Amino acid sequence: MNDFIFQFAMYNPVTDTVEVNTGTGTALFIRCKDFNSTVMFDDPNDVVYLYHLAEEQPLTYAKFALSDDGLQDYVDAMNWFNY
């Protein structure tokens, strides 16, 4: 998955997906609910970090979602900075 060159992404709130154009004629549809459910939260409300990321920086969300522990590391970092 890390071989993709992401060109454009947007969050679709109707389907709760990040839609990514890879520039190779391939589109990726990342279901946020499925990817977010793999993250362990200290506080269940911390899921808001991931939704803000998906809405405001969908390319970054896609890259984290497709990397090992990317979303978990992001939430852990946000908790550390906001502690």
Per-residue pLDDT of the chain (83 residues; tens, 9 = 90+): 456 677 889 999 999 999 998 878 888 999 999 999 999 999 999 999 999 999 999 999 999 999 999 999 999 999 998 87
Separate counts of helices (H) and strands (E) for the chain:
4, 3
Residue 31, number of CB atoms within 10 A of its CB: 13
71: tokens are 């979303």
For 13, other C-beta atoms within 10 Å of its C-beta total 10
The CA-atom distances, in angstroms, between 21 and each of 18, 54, 66 are: 10, 15, 14
Flag whether the pTM goes above 0.85. Answer: yes
Tens digit of pLDDT for each residue in 18-36? 999 887 888 899 999 999 9
- Please give the structure tokens belonging to residue 33: 């609910």
